[in-house]
Amino acid sequence: MQVNRRDRVQAETFNLAARLDELLENLCQVEQVSREVFELRVDPACKARFDRGHFEQVLWNLCRNALRYSQRLPCSVRLRALTSDDGTTVLDVSDDGTGVPGDAVQKLFEPFFTTEEGGTGLGLYIARELCEANGALIEYKRAIDGGACFRITFGSSDES
Ligand SMILES: Nc1ncnc2c1ncn2[C@@H]1O[C@H](COP(=O)(O)OP(=O)(O)OP(=O)(O)O)[C@@H](O)[C@H]1O
Ligand SMILES: [Mg+2]
């Protein structure tokens, strides 16, 4: 298992839509799933500041989780991002699965919490560590249709 260490953060500012598009292409090839399953609705002006490897690791896990629980229909997994007036960029990864049961919500980001046979239960734990190391916040909320939604709120994308 490759864990990108949080003490080696090489933050860069990048265009979110372009980076996500590339990531989805790769993921769909590896997972042998139609690109249609993912809906990418990201404001072309959205930028994020994050270590490239860390970003891929976080998104890869969120998208693979979402895919696993989704119905795998067109647009079953939705990636949406917006930058608000104060410059804060928020990315939501949501799916049309059954969501996370109430008693599991507080355990989601704990190390080794898994309901999957063969799962490590480290994906979300590492995602939270990496987000924190990159000045971002990751949280769970329920999607409107009852599925799961994971929200990343990025730190400032100023290069300073
Ligand atoms: N989109 C989702 N819908 C429903 N439950 C989820 C979703 N994402 C995560 N979970 C729950 O959170 C648990 C922990 O997820 P995490 O990514 O940390 O580990 P994992 O996916 O079980 O293992 P691994 O990442 O090694 O494959 C999952 O086992 C599942 O119970
Ligand atoms: Mg996982």
Band of pLDDT at residue 19, cut at 50, 70 and 90: very high
Show the domains of the chain with their CATH numbers: 36-153 (3.30.565.10)
d(CA 93, CA 135): 19
Judged by its nearest atom, the ligand closest to the C-alpha of residue 118 is 1
Per the listing, tokens 């090839």 go with 29
Check if 97 has its Cβ closer than 6 Å to any atom of ligand 1: yes
Q: What is the pLDDT of residues 83-133, one digit of tens each?
A: 999 999 999 999 999 999 999 999 999 999 999 999 999 999 999 999 999
Average pLDDT value for residue range 13-23: 98
Check if 95 has its Cβ closer than 6 Å to any atom of ligand 1: yes
pTM: 0.94
Q: Is the pLDDT of residue 1 over 90?
A: no
Among protein residues, the one whose CA lies closest to atom 1 of ligand 1: 66
Among 4, 8, 29, which residue's Cα sits nearest to residue 123?
Answer: 4
Q: Which long-range contacts (CB under 8 A, 24 or more apart) does 102-111 make?
A: 105/140, 108/140, 109/138, 109/140
The residues, ordered by sequence, that sit 6+ positions from 151 with a Cβ below 8 Å of its Cβ are 90, 91, 92, 138, 139, 140, 141
Check if 61 has its Cβ closer than 6 Å to any atom of ligand 1: yes
d(CA 19, CA 79): 12
